[in-house]
Amino acid sequence: EAQVTQNPRYLITVTGKKLTVTCSQNMNHEYMSWYRQDPGLGLRQIYYSMNVEVTDKGDVPEGYKVSRKEKRNFPLILESPSPNQTSLYFCASSTQRGASPRFYNEQFFGPGTRLTVL
């Protein structure tokens, strides 16, 4: 089954304790992104990656790091989480290649990670 997986689904942590949220896709997509969702603001892009070892900042990158060492994985790292990073996080992947153009640019989302920083 084609899918994007995220772990953990729920996480409660304390200020300053480093954490990583993993993301993996099995569709061989070249593009991957992280978004955060906050009430009244919709989803905003944190970081994105166009391929292995190629990453760039989105709209709200402060306090986050990412890496793309393998095509299928795109972890989100919070080196020193703060309460304002309490949010719902989504990983997504997409492609502009392949035999099905109707899926080009469609972002496939993971199930979300609910993060609470105390």
Partner 1 sequence: AQTVTQSQPEMSVQEAETVTLSCTYDTSENNYYLFWYKQPPSRQMILVIRQEAYKQQNATENRFSVNFQKAAKSFSLKISDSQLGDTAMYFCAFLIQGAQKLVFGQGTRLTINP
Q: Is 105 left (phi over 0), alpha (psi -120 to 50) or beta?
A: left
In angstroms, give the least distance from the CB of 15 to partner 1.
24
Question: Can you give the binding site for partner 1, defined by CB under 8 A?
Answer: 31, 33, 35, 40-45, 48, 50, 58-59, 88, 90, 92, 94, 96, 105-107, 109, 111-112, 114
The C-alpha atoms of residue 13 and residue 86 are separated, in whole angstroms, by: 10
Specify the residue, 38 or 70, whose C-beta has the smaller distance to partner 1.
38
Specify the residue, 25 or 94, whose C-beta has the smaller distance to partner 1.
94
Could you give the count of Cα atoms lying within 13 Å of 78 in the half-sphere of its Cβ? 24
In angstroms, give the least distance from the CB of 111 to partner 1.
6
In angstroms, give the least distance from the CB of 107 to partner 1.
6
Beta carbons of 108 and 28 less than 8 angstroms apart:
no
Specify the residue, 44 or 65, whose C-beta has the smaller distance to partner 1.
44
Is the previous residue joined to 83 through a cis bond, with omega within 30 degrees of 0? Answer: no
The C-alpha atoms of residue 31 and residue 27 are separated, in whole angstroms, by: 11
Specify the residue, 28 or 105, whose C-beta has the smaller distance to partner 1.
105
